[in-house]
Amino acid sequence: MINPHDADMASQPSGPALASLHYAYPTAIFAYYITSSTIAVCTLQTRSSEQSHGRRRVIIWLLLFSILTYLAQLLALLVQAVVQHTFPSEQDTIIGLLSCILVFGVEFAGLSDSPKPVWYPFTGSFGIALVFEPAIQALSLTPRPPGPLGAAEFFDLSAVAARYLAFVMALLFYFEGNWTAKREKGSDSERQSLLKSNGQNGAPNGGKVTDDSADGEQEQNGYGSTSDDSTEESADATKSSAADTPESPWERREREGREQMEKRLKEKGNWFTYAKSFLVFFPYIWPVNNRALQTRIALVGICLLAMNIVNVMIPRQLGIVLDSLGGSNDKNPWVGVLVFGGLKLVASEAGLSLLRQYLWIPVEFYSYDAISTAAYSHVLNLSSDFHDSKSSSDIMMAITAGQSISSMLDSICFRAIPMLIDFVVAFIYLSVMFGPYEGFITIATAVIFMYIATAMLARLKMIRKGEVSAWFEEHYVRQAGIQGWTTVTCFNQIGHEERRYSTAVRNRVAKSQQVQLGYILSYAFQFLVLLCGLLAGAFLAVFQVTHGKATPGDFIMLLTYWAQLVAPLGFFASLGKGISRNLISAEQLLEIMQTKPSIIDKEGAPPLEFSGGKVEFDNVSFSYDGKKEILKDISFTATPGMTVAFVGATGAGKSTILKILDRFYDATKGTILIDGQDIKEVSLCSLRTQIGVVPQAPVLFDDTVMNNVRYAKLDATDEEVYEACKAASIHEQIMGFTDGYQTRVGERGIKLSGGELQRVAIARAILKRPAIVLLDEATSAVDTETEQKIQEALRKLCEGRTTFIVAHRLSTIMNADRIMVITGGELVEQGGHDELIRAKGKYAELWSRQIFAKPQDKESATDKPVVKGRKSPHIVNDLPNEVANLELAKVKPVPGGQVGTASGESSGSEDSEDSTQTLVTPGHKKEV
């Protein structure tokens, strides 16, 4: 039975003070929670929160209990209203209770989701509740006539008291948990042995697994940190399978980007300063000196604002039309429909949206153009240390990441910001139309929706990762089967490949189905949240209409507005994920843009003034990584026109000398002078203009022979190119190609033979007419005639020029003006061939080892395929028989005919440092 006094209470409207408290209470909690959580996230407190709280689970239960008390109060009020047919006049009480359920529901979800939360957003909310709850209760009882409490009043009061107690207990448990944790920490450190226990970081419990909380969350210390097999087995299957599968290149890139982002985020300390580092891109996004584009951007902004206004006007107009049809207003419905049609047109893809996109096109391409070209130019200007440390595919991916910055801005400017404005407008408009709670319901529903949608997306992450791995696996198996078709067929393994592929496809399909199911469930749940919000809003609107405070048209307006507002919410929920993915890509580009080239011109560096080409190395040392010295105190002088050959074991540092001479790297100690000028003091461009390089494995562009040769001098005439090719003894051969000089050479010059490739590279160097030539001499197996042609071409290239050769052929070494023997980065000997032989040192040793080696089997070499880009053997004895005999004559034969034995046995080990042969070097018998 309902007490007549209770009925009085139910129908009695709240006073203005109580009503405002009903409004203010959830609003204050919500505002505090959102603000403090945002601060915690932005200042990275959520990341550094390492401690799990011992009483977290109890506090979650207490919070749930409080939510249930709100629900109980709400139900009691509704039952009372239905039974007494006094549909509640206390709208502020009902909406207040609904809002409290929503707000504390969000907190409940937040607390349950994070095992190690930042606490102040929660404890602060409980504190605020402790102030508001008694105030509201006191005000609601004040106008009450004296007498015993009715059943409803008693129930209400009990619910509030129980909730109050729950909040107090939650706070007490929180402080008690903190205090216990502190005390345990203190006593642990007191009990801790002065001597560290066996490398376990002094773990006081001897490494035992501790259950540190009532939650049962385990923190593993010491020995216990080794994972238990049984636990692993029972772990989430998806997780373990994801951990087992090897990382795909895509996953690696994602992981590295994420790690990079987290690292920088930690360094910056919070999201604000982190975001500031992206200001590097500002000039590429904002057309700094372009008024026309700036005007377009301003017009786009106006379009967006206009769109926000139209978004309110459409539902409002629909309401007006409906009211005019129902007679609630005297407006002409025909005109109303026409206006409605006009507004719809403006809002459509043929209206403002068209105008906005039209205006935006040049701006969008401006930023693509600016970012892409700036990134590409920056990468090209970076030095060898950068290019040697990054894979080309990673660099290319990073350059295309410019696109993600544009799309991130697109999402933020054209979708996120307009949506936020829409919500603020909706909040204000609905608050004015239907009272503040209608607005509040809108905002609260949107926030809860996004919270839930984001949480669900995060839960789907692991399954999605599995799907991507399965997709890569499928792709890999398919590609391997098709690429290796010949092998598959030769070994009769078509059946095996078919089975392998079908397993991969089935695995991928299973994973995709899981993801799909996850999405469907997530959408269903999100829809339910929106439905709850809509019902709450509609309930309030119906209340207003039935009480004559609003028209049916307003109700229709609300429904239309609601539908319009919530439609893009799905996008908003995934915005965070999209932005973080774009940030990861942008991070990779940012890292490159922040890398400074290590080899740069000094300010106002003059050009190199060439006068002959004298090169001096003065105590030059070098290290690639700053730790291991690759070159140690190298000093020598090469006079103009001299040919210097570097010999030494593989990895001795010969090529490195050429690299620092061409300033691909700078010497870490000492100076390099060209014609008396320090190469670090002159401009890089002028230095490289004077130097011509022929690498051991030349790389050509996938272009015509003509364009490849002309690359050395872009304005060279055809005649000049022909001349260079003639000098390089390749002209005739090129003329024999199907398209002559217009023949395309294929990727990296794949369609040319080894000898042709080398001579095209030499022709290119000849066309450049360098003053100094750097040659990493190749020893590809080519036929005698080609080899002679190459030698001839090289002779023409080096004629009269200071030349440095990393020499692999005995003939080159012996013909050099000066031979430099490099061992372990040190210049151990230098001098002419005969001089060094007489010195009986390291060179004599190397030389004698090779001179007894069987010369290349030149007949069979003609048929050998040339392996391009392969490191050549250390030194090759390419001497013609007569010269070899002459050289051999320099060696005194020893009794026993050891010479003949050595030459016969060493054919396969010319470059082997370890081969032990009994050899005779000038003057003495030696074991090598």
Ligand X SMILES: Nc1ncnc2c1ncn2[C@@H]1O[C@H](COP(=O)(O)OP(=O)(O)OP(=O)(O)O)[C@@H](O)[C@H]1O
What is the contact surface with ligand X in residues (CB under 6 A)?
388, 624, 630, 648, 650-656, 806, 871
Helix (H) or strand (E) holding 827: strand 826-831
Q: If you write DSSP's letter for every residue of 291-341 in order, what string do you get?
A: HHHHHHHHHHHHHHHHHHHHHHHHHHHHHHHHHHHHTSS---HHHHHHHHH
Minimum Å gap between C-beta 654 and ligand X is: 4
User: How does strand 924-927 pair with strand 918-921?
Assistant: antiparallel
Alpha-carbon span 200 to 204, nearest angstrom? 9
Alpha-carbon span 457 to 121, nearest angstrom? 23
Q: Which residues contact 538 (CB under 8 A, 6 or more apart)?
A: 555, 558, 559
461 versus 871: smaller Cβ distance to ligand X: 871
Helix (H) or strand (E) holding 529: helix 494-546
Amino acid at site 378: H
Alpha-carbon span 774 to 762, nearest angstrom? 11
Alpha-carbon span 434 to 438, nearest angstrom? 6
Q: Which residues contact 411 (CB under 8 A, 6 or more apart)?
A: 575, 578, 579, 582
Residues 67/97, Cβ–Cβ less than 8 Å: no
Minimum Å gap between C-beta 874 and ligand X is: 7
Report which of 114, 33, 113, 25 is spatially closest to residue 70, judged by C-alpha positions.
25
70 versus 622: smaller Cβ distance to ligand X: 622
Alpha-carbon span 482 to 505, nearest angstrom? 16
Residues 629/689, Cβ–Cβ less than 8 Å: no
Residues 497/488, Cβ–Cβ less than 8 Å: yes
Minimum Å gap between C-beta 753 and ligand X is: 22
Classify residue 828 by burial, with Cβ atoms within 10 Å: 0-12, 13-18, 19+: middle
Alpha-carbon span 736 to 764, nearest angstrom? 19
The helix-helix angle for 333-347 and 352-381 (nearest 10°) equals 10
373: left (phi over 0), alpha (psi -120 to 50) or beta: alpha
Classify residue 177 by burial, with Cβ atoms within 10 Å: 0-12, 13-18, 19+: buried
Alpha-carbon span 256 to 253, nearest angstrom? 5
799: left (phi over 0), alpha (psi -120 to 50) or beta: beta
806 versus 846: smaller Cβ distance to ligand X: 806
120 versus 624: smaller Cβ distance to ligand X: 624
448 versus 630: smaller Cβ distance to ligand X: 630
Alpha-carbon span 289 to 295, nearest angstrom? 12
Q: How many CB atoms lie within 10 A of CB 520?
A: 10
Joined tokens for residue 474: 């499928």
Classify residue 385 by burial, with Cβ atoms within 10 Å: 0-12, 13-18, 19+: middle
User: How does strand 669-674 pair with strand 677-678?
Assistant: antiparallel
87 versus 624: smaller Cβ distance to ligand X: 624
Strand segments, DSSP code E, in 639-745 are 643-648, 669-674, 677-678, 691-694
> Nearest 10 degrees: CA dihedral of 684, 689, 692, 696?
50
Helix (H) or strand (E) holding 167: helix 151-191
Residue carrying the six token digits 């153009």: 369
